[in-house]
Structure 1
């Protein structure tokens, strides 16, 4: 991997904050509530988890819980049945409509040339060098987390991984990860 001058951590934090803000607003704008209501869902937790997990397809709430592990099972369980109300594709379309409406309402349009420039800047980050860097981060994270697995030992850690492996296997078989390679 070519070496580049280090990036100041304040710039990294600035990017992180901007990306988070560009993602977060969708769950908080009134347009998202309207789109969900148009699909037949008025409960805040149901709509949140449906919009969040629609890209994974019609997965059961347990998969959403595993994917977004920071939530309580009780909260995620509320999404049971959302795929009976509307398909994941309908949820995705509703999310895109809500985003378009909200962006237009607040005047946050980005000209095509700005989007193209942003794309040109992010492509190298998520391309091969980004993949390699992410793997290095994963290895370093594993080193830091190794002590957390000590109470169940190596055998317990490997058993835990084997018990949840069918989730990854099913999504791999379904072609979910094909676009990542």
Structure 2
């Protein structure tokens, strides 16, 4: 008798050639098989070799995650696929721009909370602020939740970027 496998969140890093269409192929792999992408970031990381890193956060059973990694690894021009969640120590961060509208006590409280969360004021008007908050997704979620009661107007999030700890490259 086998235990029921439970789904868990995984951060997968994929090193690819920086060329047109590769992101569409990666996303198509997920959507074609009914896998959900919770977060997706992509950027050029090596100018000389023309490489980009795609960071994908998804949820699945161990079998589904292994299937995703195997299918990603077969895509051309994928150079390397790493499941940072399984491999151990890694760092994840997310950035959000959070617009809050308010005056008086609400304005003072928003500034106080921003200070506690080490959020930067990157735009200020008489009746609003735009804060930049960086950290774990939980930290960003908590900050946004607190701002919701103080006049939250808009939120823009980058998605998660991640890297392994130590001196090894992807």
| TM-score normalised by length of structure 1 | 0.23
Higher fraction of strand: 2
Higher fraction of helix: 1
| TM-score normalised by length of structure 2 | 0.23
Larger RCO, structure (CA 8 Å, separation 6 or more): 2
